[in-house]
A = this chain, B = another copy of it.
Amino acid sequence: MALETTKKVGKKVRLCGWVNSRRDHGKLVFVDLRDRSGIIQLVISLLDFADSSTLRVKNPQPEGFSSAKSSLIRLHLEDVIEVVGLVKNRTPQTINPKIPTGKVEVQVEKIKILAKSAELPFDMGQPELKLELPTLLDFRPLTLRHPKISAIFKVQEVIIDSFRQTLKNLGFTEFQAPIIVPATAEGGAEVFSVNYFDFKTYLGQSPQLYKQIMLGVFERVFTVTHAFRAEPSVTTRHLTEYLSLDAEMAFVDSWQEIMDTVEDVVKEILQAVEKKCFQELVMYKTTVPLITVKIPRLKLREAQEIIYQRTKKDKRKEPDLQPADEEEICQWAKKEKGSDFVFITHYPVKKRPFYTYPDPDEPEYTLSFDLLGRGLEWVTGGQRINDYEKLVENIKKWGNDPANFELYLQAFKYGMPPEGGFAFGAERMTMKILELANIREASAFPRDLERVDIRLYEKKKQTDKKIAG
């Protein structure tokens, strides 16, 4: 692989990858080969390739290397090649300190084209891919290959992995929540229905009910799953399909314990990203958010009071924080507490799902929390009601039919400990860690009101035209 060449000066290597860029200097062609380990400079001397006047081989032999004599050299960007060559030290003047293989290059002796690429629709060889978001997504298979874009998904892999590993170390068991569900758990219209044989089923809005059922089995559980919201509006922070990192823990002595666990998990994730994604953070000219030993914890009403003192905007009776409020309170936390994070607790009962535990001291507020980081919600969680009768009562109060929650309620009918949990949105974490402008950049295949891989309205137009035609 490209990266390993640094340890193989003077040796012959075989490399496979994509043509990332190409620079012609008279009889010398410089090609940056990209593979999964990074980029390496290849040097191809046209003098070595006698019949180089035939600049392009139309039908490369599928078997074996083309002999050097009969080969190419009209390589296109994104062509897939295999080369054999000698690793050499670069001259001091030509060292490239910006890439890990910058001190070496490979003098190509044999080359084989494994697959040709069509002409690229835009320049892929620059350190920055300067495209508008719709274009970035219209050409996703191509744009994902750009080192700065693929970096996002290396970071996301580390986030998810570290979430799993941290929870396993804390005694949590991983389980698999189903996607197709028989009823909508949290009410509201923002749900997608599935045509399931003769029946109507739904896409789960969260694995909440299943993680509570599994808590009855393993005490501490987590799942990494897809969750779905039929968001009727287009914002920079919502997807219709997102990745939920969900955990639930039993036998909590206090709901503060749940926040303590969130704190531990966030710290572990940030440390893992800092350690494993140094290169990626540099690319995005950022560092991981600042986290203090103890993240500040404010009740909603306290946060609103602070916002009022700072801005003179009176939101003190609002049942929730608006995006601007979330940014304001994060700025306060940064300035006053040196923290990029702040917990907001005690959201009103009516703004939270039916299973949220009310605060015994202030029953109109809940033992729930959001963790805000860099101006946006990262995590939501809280203590849950574990009493069967109370849950039945609340399901009705929230306008649902307990019959639709039969399986869920069963878990509570047969003994459920005091418990609580939390959920991270993987794309939001990725977005905020790398300071991306839009959550769609943090999803390899983002789905929204207008797009499922392709632009839906344009597809519909085409279909309508076909039908009309």
User: Of A78, A387, A413, which is in contact with the most chain B CB atoms at under 10 Å from its CB?
Assistant: A413
Question: What is the distance, in angstroms, from A76's C-beta to the closest C-beta of chain B?
Answer: 8
Selected contact of A153 from candidates B171, B216, B217, B410, CB within 8 Å: B217
What residues on B are CB-neighbors of A410 within 8 Å? Answer: 139-142
Asked if A298 is at the interface of the complex by the 8 Å CB criterion, the answer is: no
Q: Is B180 a contact of A154 with CB atoms below 8 Å? A: no
Smallest CB gap from A156: residue in B: B176
User: By CB atoms of chain B within 10 A, which of A120, A139, A196, A454 has the most?
Assistant: A196
- Asked if A325 is at the interface (CB within 8 A of a chain B CB), the reply is no
Contacting residues, chain B, for A16 (C-beta < 8 A): 250-251, 417
Interface bits A443-455 vs B (CB < 8 Å: 1, else 0): 0110101001110
Interface size class of A (residues with CB under 8 A): 35 or more
Mind listing 26 A-B residue pairs with CB under 8 Å?
Answer: A19-B415, A80-B416, A114-B417, A115-B415, A118-B388, A141-B216, A141-B411, A142-B410, A144-B216, A160-B176, A161-B174, A176-B426, A177-B445, A178-B226, A179-B179, A179-B226, A179-B228, A180-B240, A182-B452, A182-B459, A192-B194, A195-B195, A197-B230, A197-B232, A199-B452, A406-B454
Cβ-neighbour of A36 out of B141, B219, B426, B445 (below 8 A): B219
10 closest residue pairs by CB, A with B = A117-B415, A141-B411, A78-B415, A36-B219, A16-B251, A407-B453, A178-B445, A141-B410, A182-B452, A78-B414
Does A96 interact with chain B (Cβ within 8 Å)? Answer: no
A241 adjacent to chain B (CB < 8 Å):
yes
- Which residues of chain B come closer than 8 Å to A116, judged between CB atoms? 415
Complex Cα distance, B460 from A75, in Å, reads 62
Bound together, the chains give a CA A210 to CA B446 distance in angstroms of 12
With a CB–CB cut-off of 8 A, which chain B residues contact A303?
A: none
User: Is A432 located at the chain interface by the 8 A CB criterion?
Assistant: no
Q: A182-B452, A197-B449, A199-B452 provided; 7 other pairs, C-beta below 8 A?
A: A115-B415, A141-B407, A161-B174, A178-B226, A182-B459, A193-B195, A194-B203
Whether a CB of chain B sits under 8 angstroms from the CB of A51 is no
Given A157-B174, A240-B180, A444-B214, A117-B197 contact (CB < 8 Å): no
* Cβ-based interface call for A49 (8 A): no
Residue A241 contacts which of B35, B178, B388 (CB distance < 8 angstroms)? B178
Instruction: Kindly state whether residue A220 has any CB partner on chain B within 8 Å.
Output: yes
Partner of A140, one of B150, B180, B182, B213: B213
